Structure 1
Amino acid sequence: MRTDEAVRVATLAAAQVGMPAHDAQVLRVGENGVVLLPGVGVLARVVQGAEAVQRVRLEIAVADWLASQDVPVARPVRSEPIVVDRHVVSLWEYLPGGHSADLVTLARCLRLLHGVARPVGLLTRVSPFSRLCEQLALAVGLDERDRTFLHERRDQLAVQWEYATFALGEVVLHGDAHMENLLVTAAGRCAFIDLESVCVGPPEWDLTLSALYYECGWFSGHDYATFTHTYGYDVRRSPAWPLLRQIRMLRMTLWLAQSADNDAQRRQQLRHRLDSLRDGSAPAGWTGF
Protein backbone atom coordinates (compact mmCIF):
# COMPACT_ATOMS: atom_id res chain seq x y z
CA MET A 1 0.00 0.00 0.00
CA ARG A 2 1.30 3.46 -0.90
CA THR A 3 1.70 6.10 1.81
CA ASP A 4 -0.49 8.64 0.01
CA GLU A 5 -3.20 6.04 -0.50
CA ALA A 6 -3.25 5.14 3.20
CA VAL A 7 -3.54 8.81 4.21
CA ARG A 8 -6.29 9.53 1.68
CA VAL A 9 -8.40 6.56 2.75
CA ALA A 10 -7.91 7.19 6.47
CA THR A 11 -8.85 10.87 6.03
CA LEU A 12 -12.04 10.00 4.15
CA ALA A 13 -12.98 7.38 6.74
CA ALA A 14 -12.48 9.86 9.58
CA ALA A 15 -14.65 12.40 7.79
CA GLN A 16 -17.48 9.84 7.56
CA VAL A 17 -17.63 9.59 11.36
CA GLY A 18 -16.88 13.24 12.14
CA MET A 19 -13.27 12.89 13.26
CA PRO A 20 -10.67 15.54 12.37
CA ALA A 21 -7.90 14.13 10.20
CA HIS A 22 -6.13 17.16 8.74
CA ASP A 23 -2.89 16.15 10.49
CA ALA A 24 -2.96 12.44 9.61
CA GLN A 25 0.44 10.74 9.80
CA VAL A 26 1.41 7.36 8.37
CA LEU A 27 3.06 5.12 10.95
CA ARG A 28 3.42 2.00 8.85
CA VAL A 29 2.60 0.79 5.36
CA GLY A 30 2.93 -2.64 3.86
CA GLU A 31 0.20 -5.04 2.88
CA ASN A 32 -2.00 -2.79 5.07
CA GLY A 33 -1.55 0.75 6.36
CA VAL A 34 -1.62 2.28 9.84
CA VAL A 35 -2.35 6.01 10.05
CA LEU A 36 -2.34 8.15 13.20
CA LEU A 37 -5.02 10.81 13.68
CA PRO A 38 -3.22 12.91 16.32
CA GLY A 39 -6.07 15.31 16.99
CA VAL A 40 -8.25 12.53 18.45
CA GLY A 41 -5.61 10.02 19.52
CA VAL A 42 -6.89 7.34 17.16
CA LEU A 43 -5.19 4.89 14.81
CA ALA A 44 -6.83 4.13 11.48
CA ARG A 45 -5.94 0.69 10.19
CA VAL A 46 -6.46 0.52 6.42
CA VAL A 47 -6.99 -2.86 4.76
CA GLN A 48 -7.12 -3.26 1.00
CA GLY A 49 -10.14 -4.94 -0.58
CA ALA A 50 -13.79 -4.21 0.25
CA GLU A 51 -14.34 -7.96 0.68
CA ALA A 52 -12.30 -7.71 3.90
CA VAL A 53 -15.18 -6.06 5.79
CA GLN A 54 -16.31 -9.26 7.51
CA ARG A 55 -12.75 -10.11 8.48
CA VAL A 56 -12.22 -6.65 9.96
CA ARG A 57 -15.57 -6.79 11.76
CA LEU A 58 -14.49 -10.08 13.34
CA GLU A 59 -11.16 -8.56 14.41
CA ILE A 60 -13.03 -5.80 16.26
CA ALA A 61 -15.30 -8.34 18.00
CA VAL A 62 -12.30 -10.46 18.97
CA ALA A 63 -10.53 -7.44 20.46
CA ASP A 64 -13.57 -6.62 22.58
CA TRP A 65 -13.83 -10.24 23.75
CA LEU A 66 -10.12 -10.50 24.62
CA ALA A 67 -10.33 -7.27 26.61
CA SER A 68 -13.28 -8.73 28.54
CA GLN A 69 -11.02 -11.69 29.42
CA ASP A 70 -8.30 -9.36 30.75
CA VAL A 71 -5.95 -10.17 27.90
CA PRO A 72 -3.81 -7.09 27.12
CA VAL A 73 -4.99 -5.79 23.74
CA ALA A 74 -5.39 -2.52 21.89
CA ARG A 75 -9.07 -1.64 21.94
CA PRO A 76 -11.26 -0.49 19.05
CA VAL A 77 -12.91 2.92 19.38
CA ARG A 78 -15.67 2.08 16.92
CA SER A 79 -17.62 -1.16 16.72
CA GLU A 80 -18.07 -1.10 12.95
CA PRO A 81 -15.50 -0.79 10.15
CA ILE A 82 -15.78 1.94 7.53
CA VAL A 83 -15.68 1.15 3.81
CA VAL A 84 -13.94 3.72 1.58
CA ASP A 85 -13.68 2.88 -2.11
CA ARG A 86 -12.19 -0.62 -2.04
CA HIS A 87 -10.66 -0.30 1.41
CA VAL A 88 -11.85 -1.18 4.90
CA VAL A 89 -10.86 1.05 7.81
CA SER A 90 -11.05 0.21 11.50
CA LEU A 91 -10.40 2.74 14.27
CA TRP A 92 -8.31 1.89 17.33
CA GLU A 93 -6.99 3.58 20.44
CA TYR A 94 -3.52 5.06 20.09
CA LEU A 95 -0.95 4.10 22.72
CA PRO A 96 1.49 7.04 22.92
CA GLY A 97 5.07 5.95 23.37
CA GLY A 98 4.22 2.35 22.66
CA HIS A 99 7.25 0.30 21.63
CA SER A 100 7.85 -3.33 20.77
CA ALA A 101 7.93 -5.71 23.72
CA ASP A 102 10.98 -7.70 24.69
CA LEU A 103 10.98 -11.49 24.48
CA VAL A 104 10.28 -12.03 28.17
CA THR A 105 7.20 -9.81 28.03
CA LEU A 106 6.05 -11.56 24.86
CA ALA A 107 6.42 -14.98 26.53
CA ARG A 108 4.54 -13.81 29.64
CA CYS A 109 1.66 -12.33 27.62
CA LEU A 110 1.44 -15.40 25.39
CA ARG A 111 1.08 -17.60 28.48
CA LEU A 112 -1.77 -15.36 29.59
CA LEU A 113 -3.44 -15.46 26.18
CA HIS A 114 -3.02 -19.22 25.83
CA GLY A 115 -4.60 -19.73 29.23
CA VAL A 116 -7.92 -18.09 28.30
CA ALA A 117 -10.92 -20.40 27.95
CA ARG A 118 -11.82 -20.85 24.28
CA PRO A 119 -15.03 -19.00 23.31
CA VAL A 120 -17.90 -20.78 21.60
CA GLY A 121 -18.54 -19.82 18.01
CA LEU A 122 -16.28 -16.75 17.81
CA LEU A 123 -12.95 -18.07 16.54
CA THR A 124 -12.00 -20.31 13.66
CA ARG A 125 -9.24 -22.90 13.79
CA VAL A 126 -5.76 -21.85 12.69
CA SER A 127 -5.29 -21.96 8.93
CA PRO A 128 -1.55 -21.83 8.19
CA PHE A 129 -2.07 -21.51 4.45
CA SER A 130 -4.81 -18.87 4.46
CA ARG A 131 -4.33 -16.20 1.79
CA LEU A 132 -1.06 -17.70 0.57
CA CYS A 133 -2.47 -18.28 -2.92
CA GLU A 134 -3.72 -14.69 -2.97
CA GLN A 135 -0.33 -13.41 -1.81
CA LEU A 136 1.43 -15.48 -4.43
CA ALA A 137 -0.80 -14.06 -7.16
CA LEU A 138 0.03 -10.51 -6.02
CA ALA A 139 3.74 -11.13 -5.40
CA VAL A 140 6.32 -9.21 -7.41
CA GLY A 141 9.86 -10.11 -8.37
CA LEU A 142 8.96 -13.75 -9.07
CA ASP A 143 9.37 -15.58 -12.34
CA GLU A 144 7.30 -18.60 -13.35
CA ARG A 145 9.89 -20.98 -11.96
CA ASP A 146 9.65 -19.24 -8.58
CA ARG A 147 5.85 -19.35 -8.61
CA THR A 148 5.81 -23.03 -9.47
CA PHE A 149 8.31 -23.77 -6.70
CA LEU A 150 6.29 -21.85 -4.08
CA HIS A 151 3.00 -23.41 -5.17
CA GLU A 152 4.49 -26.88 -4.92
CA ARG A 153 6.08 -26.13 -1.53
CA ARG A 154 2.73 -24.85 -0.25
CA ASP A 155 0.93 -27.99 -1.44
CA GLN A 156 3.54 -30.32 0.09
CA LEU A 157 3.40 -28.58 3.46
CA ALA A 158 -0.42 -28.54 3.46
CA VAL A 159 -0.46 -32.32 3.14
CA GLN A 160 2.03 -32.67 5.99
CA TRP A 161 -0.05 -30.32 8.17
CA GLU A 162 -3.01 -32.69 8.00
CA TYR A 163 -0.94 -35.38 9.75
CA ALA A 164 1.09 -33.20 12.13
CA THR A 165 1.40 -34.07 15.82
CA PHE A 166 1.44 -31.37 18.49
CA ALA A 167 2.37 -31.65 22.16
CA LEU A 168 0.44 -28.85 23.86
CA GLY A 169 -3.22 -29.24 22.93
CA GLU A 170 -5.27 -26.34 21.55
CA VAL A 171 -5.67 -22.81 22.89
CA VAL A 172 -6.58 -19.30 21.78
CA LEU A 173 -3.73 -18.04 19.57
CA HIS A 174 -2.63 -14.60 18.47
CA GLY A 175 -1.72 -16.13 15.12
CA ASP A 176 1.14 -13.72 14.29
CA ALA A 177 2.95 -13.55 17.61
CA HIS A 178 6.15 -11.55 17.49
CA MET A 179 7.58 -8.67 19.50
CA GLU A 180 6.32 -5.92 17.16
CA ASN A 181 2.75 -7.15 17.62
CA LEU A 182 2.93 -6.59 21.37
CA LEU A 183 3.33 -2.97 22.43
CA VAL A 184 4.50 -1.70 25.81
CA THR A 185 3.86 1.90 26.88
CA ALA A 186 6.06 4.06 29.09
CA ALA A 187 3.58 3.43 31.90
CA GLY A 188 4.06 -0.33 31.50
CA ARG A 189 0.79 -1.21 29.79
CA CYS A 190 1.03 -4.12 27.34
CA ALA A 191 -1.25 -4.52 24.33
CA PHE A 192 -1.40 -7.08 21.56
CA ILE A 193 -2.09 -5.46 18.19
CA ASP A 194 -2.90 -6.77 14.69
CA LEU A 195 -5.55 -9.19 15.91
CA GLU A 196 -6.85 -10.30 12.51
CA SER A 197 -5.17 -13.70 12.89
CA VAL A 198 -6.51 -14.60 16.35
CA CYS A 199 -7.80 -18.16 16.21
CA VAL A 200 -7.75 -21.54 17.96
CA GLY A 201 -4.92 -24.01 17.50
CA PRO A 202 -1.73 -25.50 18.95
CA PRO A 203 0.40 -23.09 21.03
CA GLU A 204 3.38 -24.18 18.97
CA TRP A 205 2.07 -22.00 16.14
CA ASP A 206 2.50 -18.85 18.25
CA LEU A 207 5.93 -19.92 19.50
CA THR A 208 7.46 -20.70 16.12
CA LEU A 209 8.25 -17.15 14.99
CA SER A 210 10.47 -16.43 18.01
CA ALA A 211 12.36 -19.69 17.48
CA LEU A 212 12.77 -18.97 13.79
CA TYR A 213 13.88 -15.39 14.39
CA TYR A 214 16.52 -16.81 16.75
CA GLU A 215 17.69 -19.10 13.94
CA CYS A 216 17.90 -16.04 11.70
CA GLY A 217 20.27 -14.50 14.24
CA TRP A 218 17.95 -11.62 15.07
CA PHE A 219 18.51 -12.04 18.81
CA SER A 220 20.90 -13.91 21.05
CA GLY A 221 20.84 -17.44 22.41
CA HIS A 222 20.53 -15.99 25.91
CA ASP A 223 17.46 -13.97 24.93
CA TYR A 224 15.83 -16.99 23.32
CA ALA A 225 16.62 -19.20 26.32
CA THR A 226 14.97 -16.62 28.58
CA PHE A 227 11.92 -16.62 26.30
CA THR A 228 11.53 -20.41 26.46
CA HIS A 229 12.10 -20.45 30.23
CA THR A 230 9.47 -17.76 30.79
CA TYR A 231 6.91 -19.48 28.59
CA GLY A 232 7.82 -22.93 29.84
CA TYR A 233 8.39 -24.70 26.51
CA ASP A 234 10.82 -24.65 23.60
CA VAL A 235 8.89 -25.24 20.39
CA ARG A 236 11.98 -26.82 18.85
CA ARG A 237 11.23 -29.85 21.03
CA SER A 238 7.87 -30.31 19.28
CA PRO A 239 7.53 -33.19 16.80
CA ALA A 240 5.93 -30.61 14.48
CA TRP A 241 8.87 -28.18 14.62
CA PRO A 242 10.40 -29.04 11.21
CA LEU A 243 7.01 -28.51 9.57
CA LEU A 244 6.17 -25.35 11.50
CA ARG A 245 9.56 -23.93 10.60
CA GLN A 246 9.05 -24.56 6.88
CA ILE A 247 5.54 -23.08 6.87
CA ARG A 248 6.67 -19.91 8.61
CA MET A 249 9.62 -19.48 6.22
CA LEU A 250 7.25 -19.83 3.29
CA ARG A 251 4.94 -17.20 4.76
CA MET A 252 7.86 -14.85 5.51
CA THR A 253 9.05 -15.15 1.91
CA LEU A 254 5.63 -14.40 0.45
CA TRP A 255 5.21 -11.47 2.85
CA LEU A 256 8.43 -9.97 1.54
CA ALA A 257 7.34 -10.55 -2.05
CA GLN A 258 4.41 -8.18 -1.52
CA SER A 259 6.73 -5.17 -1.23
CA ALA A 260 9.89 -5.98 -3.21
CA ASP A 261 9.07 -4.18 -6.46
CA ASN A 262 10.53 -0.74 -5.71
CA ASP A 263 13.26 -1.60 -3.22
CA ALA A 264 16.58 -3.07 -4.35
CA GLN A 265 17.46 -4.43 -0.90
CA ARG A 266 14.12 -6.19 -0.60
CA ARG A 267 14.48 -7.68 -4.08
CA GLN A 268 17.94 -8.95 -3.19
CA GLN A 269 16.72 -10.45 0.08
CA LEU A 270 13.73 -12.03 -1.66
CA ARG A 271 16.05 -13.72 -4.14
CA HIS A 272 18.26 -14.96 -1.31
CA ARG A 273 15.26 -16.39 0.55
CA LEU A 274 14.08 -18.24 -2.54
CA ASP A 275 17.53 -19.65 -3.23
CA SER A 276 18.04 -20.73 0.38
CA LEU A 277 14.62 -22.40 0.50
CA ARG A 278 15.60 -24.37 -2.58
CA ASP A 279 19.03 -25.48 -1.33
CA GLY A 280 17.95 -26.09 2.28
CA SER A 281 20.21 -23.45 3.87
CA ALA A 282 17.32 -21.22 5.02
CA PRO A 283 17.12 -19.14 7.15
CA ALA A 284 20.86 -18.42 7.01
CA GLY A 285 21.42 -14.88 5.79
CA TRP A 286 17.80 -13.80 6.21
CA THR A 287 17.46 -10.17 7.23
CA GLY A 288 14.45 -8.36 8.68
CA PHE A 289 12.51 -5.40 7.33
Structure 2
Amino acid sequence: MEFRQYKTDLVREGLMPEDSQVVSTNNKLVAISPEQGVVYRVSKAAGSNLRDDPHDLGYSHRVSWYAAQEAPVVSPLDREPLTAKGYVISRYPLMIGDVHLSENNADEIFTMTQRISSSLSTVSDNMMLRSLNIPEYVGSRIEDLEGKKISHPGDLDYIRRELTALQHSFPFSELTKDDTGLIHGDFKIENIVSDAKGNLRAIDLDAAAVGPRLYDLSSWRLRQELGDKTPVESVIEIARKKEKWNDDYYKALIGWKAVSSMSFTLRYEDEQTSHRKINEIARAAIKLGGLLHHTEPEV
Protein backbone atom coordinates (compact mmCIF):
# COMPACT_ATOMS: atom_id res chain seq x y z
CA MET A 1 0.00 0.00 0.00
CA GLU A 2 1.35 3.44 -0.87
CA PHE A 3 2.01 5.85 1.96
CA ARG A 4 -0.49 8.36 0.61
CA GLN A 5 -3.19 5.75 1.05
CA TYR A 6 -2.46 5.93 4.78
CA LYS A 7 -3.91 9.44 4.91
CA THR A 8 -7.08 8.37 3.11
CA ASP A 9 -7.57 5.52 5.58
CA LEU A 10 -6.82 7.63 8.65
CA VAL A 11 -9.10 10.50 7.61
CA ARG A 12 -11.89 8.02 6.92
CA GLU A 13 -11.41 6.48 10.38
CA GLY A 14 -11.35 9.89 12.07
CA LEU A 15 -7.72 9.48 13.13
CA MET A 16 -6.40 12.42 11.11
CA PRO A 17 -8.12 15.71 10.16
CA GLU A 18 -9.08 16.32 6.55
CA ASP A 19 -6.91 19.43 6.31
CA SER A 20 -3.75 17.34 6.82
CA GLN A 21 -1.12 17.93 4.16
CA VAL A 22 1.29 15.15 3.22
CA VAL A 23 4.85 16.52 3.36
CA SER A 24 6.91 13.33 3.19
CA THR A 25 6.52 9.69 2.22
CA ASN A 26 10.13 8.66 2.83
CA ASN A 27 9.85 5.34 4.73
CA LYS A 28 6.83 6.67 6.61
CA LEU A 29 3.96 9.10 6.13
CA VAL A 30 4.50 12.58 7.54
CA ALA A 31 1.56 14.96 7.36
CA ILE A 32 0.79 18.28 9.02
CA SER A 33 -2.50 19.76 10.13
CA PRO A 34 -2.11 23.57 10.08
CA GLU A 35 -5.47 23.98 11.79
CA GLN A 36 -4.54 21.74 14.72
CA GLY A 37 -0.85 22.67 14.69
CA VAL A 38 0.03 18.98 14.72
CA VAL A 39 2.52 16.82 12.81
CA TYR A 40 1.45 13.23 12.19
CA ARG A 41 4.07 10.52 11.64
CA VAL A 42 2.54 7.22 10.57
CA SER A 43 3.77 3.71 9.82
CA LYS A 44 2.19 0.28 9.62
CA ALA A 45 2.11 -1.42 13.00
CA ALA A 46 3.71 -4.62 11.74
CA GLY A 47 6.33 -2.94 9.58
CA SER A 48 9.64 -1.22 9.99
CA ASN A 49 9.81 2.50 9.37
CA LEU A 50 13.49 2.51 8.45
CA ARG A 51 15.61 0.17 6.39
CA ASP A 52 18.25 -1.48 8.60
CA ASP A 53 16.26 -0.49 11.69
CA PRO A 54 14.26 -3.25 13.41
CA HIS A 55 12.18 -0.80 15.39
CA ASP A 56 8.85 0.63 14.33
CA LEU A 57 7.78 4.23 14.77
CA GLY A 58 7.07 3.60 18.45
CA TYR A 59 10.81 3.47 19.14
CA SER A 60 11.56 7.04 18.03
CA HIS A 61 8.35 8.20 19.72
CA ARG A 62 9.45 6.87 23.11
CA VAL A 63 13.05 8.07 22.74
CA SER A 64 11.77 11.57 21.95
CA TRP A 65 9.35 11.53 24.88
CA TYR A 66 12.00 10.67 27.46
CA ALA A 67 14.89 12.63 25.92
CA ALA A 68 12.72 15.77 25.85
CA GLN A 69 12.64 15.70 29.64
CA GLU A 70 16.28 16.80 29.66
CA ALA A 71 17.21 17.88 26.15
CA PRO A 72 15.94 20.32 23.50
CA VAL A 73 14.04 17.64 21.62
CA VAL A 74 10.51 18.05 20.29
CA SER A 75 8.35 15.87 22.52
CA PRO A 76 5.38 13.89 21.21
CA LEU A 77 1.97 15.10 22.35
CA ASP A 78 1.14 11.66 23.74
CA ARG A 79 3.20 9.55 26.14
CA GLU A 80 2.69 6.48 23.96
CA PRO A 81 2.08 6.32 20.20
CA LEU A 82 -1.48 5.70 19.11
CA THR A 83 -2.20 2.31 17.56
CA ALA A 84 -5.37 1.85 15.55
CA LYS A 85 -6.53 0.05 12.42
CA GLY A 86 -3.08 -1.47 11.90
CA TYR A 87 -1.25 1.87 12.11
CA VAL A 88 1.22 3.39 14.56
CA ILE A 89 0.58 7.13 14.86
CA SER A 90 2.87 9.65 16.52
CA ARG A 91 1.62 13.19 17.03
CA TYR A 92 4.00 16.10 17.53
CA PRO A 93 3.47 19.85 17.88
CA LEU A 94 4.08 21.72 14.64
CA MET A 95 7.35 23.67 14.78
CA ILE A 96 9.04 26.12 12.45
CA GLY A 97 11.03 24.20 9.87
CA ASP A 98 13.63 25.35 7.33
CA VAL A 99 15.64 27.09 10.04
CA HIS A 100 18.55 29.14 8.73
CA LEU A 101 21.54 28.10 10.80
CA SER A 102 24.72 30.14 10.98
CA GLU A 103 27.80 30.43 13.15
CA ASN A 104 25.67 32.46 15.55
CA ASN A 105 23.83 29.23 16.40
CA ALA A 106 26.99 27.22 17.09
CA ASP A 107 26.84 27.51 20.89
CA GLU A 108 23.17 26.54 20.99
CA ILE A 109 23.73 23.54 18.71
CA PHE A 110 26.73 22.42 20.76
CA THR A 111 24.62 22.60 23.92
CA MET A 112 21.90 20.62 22.13
CA THR A 113 24.32 17.78 21.32
CA GLN A 114 25.60 17.78 24.90
CA ARG A 115 22.15 17.62 26.43
CA ILE A 116 20.94 14.91 24.05
CA SER A 117 24.01 12.87 24.93
CA SER A 118 23.55 13.33 28.67
CA SER A 119 19.88 12.33 28.51
CA LEU A 120 21.05 8.73 28.08
CA SER A 121 20.39 7.69 31.68
CA THR A 122 16.84 9.06 31.67
CA VAL A 123 15.97 7.38 28.39
CA SER A 124 17.65 4.05 29.19
CA ASP A 125 15.96 3.93 32.60
CA ASN A 126 12.58 3.93 30.86
CA MET A 127 13.05 1.90 27.68
CA MET A 128 15.35 -0.50 25.89
CA LEU A 129 17.75 1.39 23.64
CA ARG A 130 19.62 -0.15 20.77
CA SER A 131 23.37 0.28 20.48
CA LEU A 132 25.07 1.69 17.41
CA ASN A 133 26.83 -1.22 15.74
CA ILE A 134 28.22 -0.12 12.39
CA PRO A 135 30.30 -3.30 11.78
CA GLU A 136 27.12 -5.36 12.09
CA TYR A 137 25.17 -3.10 9.72
CA VAL A 138 27.96 -3.05 7.13
CA GLY A 139 28.59 -6.79 7.43
CA SER A 140 24.90 -7.52 6.87
CA ARG A 141 24.80 -5.35 3.76
CA ILE A 142 27.95 -6.96 2.36
CA GLU A 143 26.44 -10.39 2.98
CA ASP A 144 23.29 -9.34 1.13
CA LEU A 145 25.41 -8.29 -1.86
CA GLU A 146 27.53 -11.44 -2.02
CA GLY A 147 26.98 -13.33 -5.26
CA LYS A 148 24.90 -10.57 -6.80
CA LYS A 149 25.84 -8.85 -10.03
CA ILE A 150 27.18 -5.38 -9.28
CA SER A 151 27.91 -2.84 -12.00
CA HIS A 152 31.08 -1.72 -10.23
CA PRO A 153 32.41 -4.67 -8.17
CA GLY A 154 35.37 -2.52 -7.15
CA ASP A 155 32.99 -0.59 -4.89
CA LEU A 156 32.28 -3.68 -2.80
CA ASP A 157 35.98 -4.58 -2.65
CA TYR A 158 36.78 -1.06 -1.48
CA ILE A 159 34.16 -1.18 1.27
CA ARG A 160 35.48 -4.57 2.43
CA ARG A 161 39.04 -3.23 2.49
CA GLU A 162 38.12 -0.13 4.47
CA LEU A 163 36.04 -2.17 6.90
CA THR A 164 38.99 -4.48 7.55
CA ALA A 165 41.41 -1.56 7.95
CA LEU A 166 39.17 0.27 10.40
CA GLN A 167 38.56 -2.88 12.43
CA HIS A 168 42.32 -3.36 12.69
CA SER A 169 43.34 0.20 13.54
CA PHE A 170 40.23 1.58 15.25
CA PRO A 171 37.96 -1.30 16.33
CA PHE A 172 34.44 -0.01 16.72
CA SER A 173 34.17 -1.81 20.05
CA GLU A 174 36.97 0.42 21.36
CA LEU A 175 35.15 3.55 20.23
CA THR A 176 32.02 2.46 22.08
CA LYS A 177 33.67 1.06 25.21
CA ASP A 178 33.91 4.37 27.05
CA ASP A 179 32.62 7.91 26.70
CA THR A 180 29.25 7.02 25.22
CA GLY A 181 25.95 8.83 25.30
CA LEU A 182 22.62 9.01 23.55
CA ILE A 183 23.32 9.84 19.92
CA HIS A 184 20.72 11.32 17.59
CA GLY A 185 22.01 9.14 14.77
CA ASP A 186 20.86 11.38 11.92
CA PHE A 187 21.94 14.85 12.97
CA LYS A 188 21.49 17.25 10.05
CA ILE A 189 19.97 20.61 9.25
CA GLU A 190 16.62 19.08 8.26
CA ASN A 191 16.29 17.61 11.75
CA ILE A 192 16.68 20.92 13.58
CA VAL A 193 13.60 23.12 13.97
CA SER A 194 12.62 26.17 15.98
CA ASP A 195 9.85 26.61 18.52
CA ALA A 196 7.68 29.73 18.77
CA LYS A 197 10.27 31.45 20.99
CA GLY A 198 13.10 30.83 18.53
CA ASN A 199 14.72 28.02 20.52
CA LEU A 200 16.27 25.25 18.43
CA ARG A 201 15.03 21.71 18.94
CA ALA A 202 15.89 18.34 17.43
CA ILE A 203 13.37 16.09 15.70
CA ASP A 204 13.28 12.62 14.10
CA LEU A 205 15.15 10.45 16.59
CA ASP A 206 14.42 7.32 14.52
CA ALA A 207 18.10 6.33 14.53
CA ALA A 208 18.81 7.26 18.16
CA ALA A 209 21.05 4.80 19.98
CA VAL A 210 23.74 4.39 22.58
CA GLY A 211 26.96 5.31 20.81
CA PRO A 212 30.24 7.24 20.85
CA ARG A 213 29.67 10.75 22.15
CA LEU A 214 31.42 12.35 19.16
CA TYR A 215 29.47 10.36 16.57
CA ASP A 216 26.85 12.99 15.75
CA LEU A 217 29.46 15.70 15.15
CA SER A 218 31.72 13.48 13.04
CA SER A 219 28.75 12.24 11.01
CA TRP A 220 27.51 15.79 10.49
CA ARG A 221 30.98 16.97 9.46
CA LEU A 222 31.10 14.32 6.74
CA ARG A 223 27.63 15.34 5.62
CA GLN A 224 28.80 18.96 5.42
CA GLU A 225 31.74 17.96 3.25
CA LEU A 226 29.21 16.34 0.93
CA GLY A 227 27.26 19.58 0.59
CA ASP A 228 25.12 20.11 3.70
CA LYS A 229 25.30 23.85 4.41
CA THR A 230 25.67 23.98 8.18
CA PRO A 231 27.84 25.66 10.83
CA VAL A 232 29.11 22.30 12.08
CA GLU A 233 32.78 23.34 11.86
CA SER A 234 32.07 26.14 14.34
CA VAL A 235 30.28 23.66 16.60
CA ILE A 236 33.27 21.33 16.45
CA GLU A 237 35.64 24.16 17.38
CA ILE A 238 33.55 24.79 20.49
CA ALA A 239 33.53 21.07 21.27
CA ARG A 240 37.33 20.92 20.97
CA LYS A 241 37.60 23.56 23.70
CA LYS A 242 34.80 22.46 26.02
CA GLU A 243 34.56 18.70 25.55
CA LYS A 244 36.87 15.80 26.23
CA TRP A 245 38.21 15.63 22.68
CA ASN A 246 40.16 12.88 20.94
CA ASP A 247 41.02 13.79 17.37
CA ASP A 248 41.97 10.22 16.43
CA TYR A 249 38.59 8.94 17.62
CA TYR A 250 36.83 11.78 15.81
CA LYS A 251 38.53 10.94 12.50
CA ALA A 252 37.98 7.22 13.03
CA LEU A 253 34.26 7.88 13.48
CA ILE A 254 34.24 9.79 10.19
CA GLY A 255 35.75 6.70 8.60
CA TRP A 256 33.17 4.41 10.18
CA LYS A 257 30.34 6.70 9.11
CA ALA A 258 31.73 6.77 5.57
CA VAL A 259 31.92 2.97 5.35
CA SER A 260 28.38 2.72 6.68
CA SER A 261 27.11 5.28 4.16
CA MET A 262 28.91 3.63 1.25
CA SER A 263 27.56 0.18 2.11
CA PHE A 264 24.05 1.61 2.50
CA THR A 265 24.35 3.33 -0.88
CA LEU A 266 25.58 0.18 -2.61
CA ARG A 267 22.93 -2.02 -0.99
CA TYR A 268 19.87 0.17 -1.40
CA GLU A 269 20.34 2.92 -3.95
CA ASP A 270 20.07 2.85 -7.72
CA GLU A 271 23.11 1.36 -9.46
CA GLN A 272 23.17 4.23 -11.93
CA THR A 273 24.03 6.70 -9.16
CA SER A 274 25.53 4.56 -6.39
CA HIS A 275 29.05 4.40 -7.89
CA ARG A 276 29.24 8.19 -8.15
CA LYS A 277 27.93 8.65 -4.61
CA ILE A 278 30.35 6.09 -3.18
CA ASN A 279 33.26 7.93 -4.80
CA GLU A 280 32.00 11.23 -3.41
CA ILE A 281 31.75 9.78 0.10
CA ALA A 282 35.23 8.26 -0.19
CA ARG A 283 36.80 11.52 -1.38
CA ALA A 284 35.12 13.48 1.41
CA ALA A 285 36.22 11.02 4.10
CA ILE A 286 39.78 10.92 2.76
CA LYS A 287 39.93 14.72 2.80
CA LEU A 288 38.82 14.73 6.44
CA GLY A 289 41.34 12.05 7.40
CA GLY A 290 38.69 9.45 8.04
CA LEU A 291 39.67 6.59 5.73
CA LEU A 292 42.94 4.75 6.06
CA HIS A 293 43.38 3.75 2.41
CA HIS A 294 44.01 6.97 0.57
CA THR A 295 42.64 5.63 -2.67
CA GLU A 296 39.18 5.62 -4.13
CA PRO A 297 37.04 2.73 -5.40
CA GLU A 298 38.22 1.35 -8.71
CA VAL A 299 36.04 1.93 -11.75
Q: Do 1:111 and 1:231's aligned partners in 2 also have CA atoms closer than 8 Å?
A: no
The separation in 1 between residues aligned to 2:256 and 2:173, in whole angstroms, is 14
How far does the alpha carbon of each residue in 1:1-46 deviate from its partner, in whole angstroms, 9 at most, with x for none? xxx9222113424544x33443332222333342223343322223
Partner of 2:205: 195
The separation in 1 between residues aligned to 2:59 and 2:94, in whole angstroms, is 22
Q: Do 2:96 and 2:196's aligned partners in 1 also have CA atoms closer than 8 Å?
A: yes
- The count of corresponding residues between Structure 1 and Structure 2 is 267
Calculate the aligned-residue CA RMSD, in Å. Answer: 4.0
Instruction: Please tell me the residue identity of whatever aligns with 1:143.
Output: S
The TM-score with structure 2 as length reference comes to 0.69
How far does the alpha carbon of each residue in 1:61-86 deviate from its partner, in whole angstroms, 9 at most, with x for none? 222211222x122222342343666x
Report the Cα offset of residue 254 of structure 1: 5.2
Q: Do 1:101 and 1:183's aligned partners in 2 also have CA atoms closer than 8 Å?
A: no
Summarize the Cα distance change of 1:216–1:236 in structure 2 as closer, same or farther, 3 Å threshold. Answer: farther
The separation in 2 between residues aligned to 1:184 and 1:199, in whole angstroms, is 23
Instruction: Please tell me the residue identity of whatever aligns with 1:246.
Output: G
Q: Which runs of 5+ in 1 are unaligned?
A: none
Partner of 2:278: 274
Alignment of 1:1-289 (within 5 A): 5-16=2-13, 18-47=14-43, 50-52=46-48, 55-69=56-70, 71-78=71-78, 79-82=80-83, 88-100=87-99, 102=101, 104=106, 105-116=108-119, 118=121, 119-120=124-125, 122=127, 123-129=129-135, 133=140, 143=151, 145=153, 148-149=156-157, 152=160, 156=164, 157=166, 160-165=170-175, 169-216=179-226, 218-219=228-229, 223-232=231-240, 237-253=246-262, 261=270, 267-268=272-273, 270-276=274-280, 281-283=283-285
Instruction: Please tell me the residue identity of whatever aligns with 1:272.
Output: R
Report the Cα offset of residue 188 of structure 1: 0.9
The TM-score with structure 1 as length reference comes to 0.71
The separation in 2 between residues aligned to 1:252 and 1:72, in whole angstroms, is 27
Report the Cα offset of residue 205 of structure 1: 1.0
SS at match of 2:113: helix
Instruction: Please tell me the residue identity of whatever aligns with 1:124.
Output: R
SS at match of 2:125: coil
Instruction: Please tell me the residue identity of whatever aligns with 1:7.
Output: R
Summarize the Cα distance change of 1:149–1:43 in structure 2 as closer, same or farther, 3 Å threshold. Answer: farther
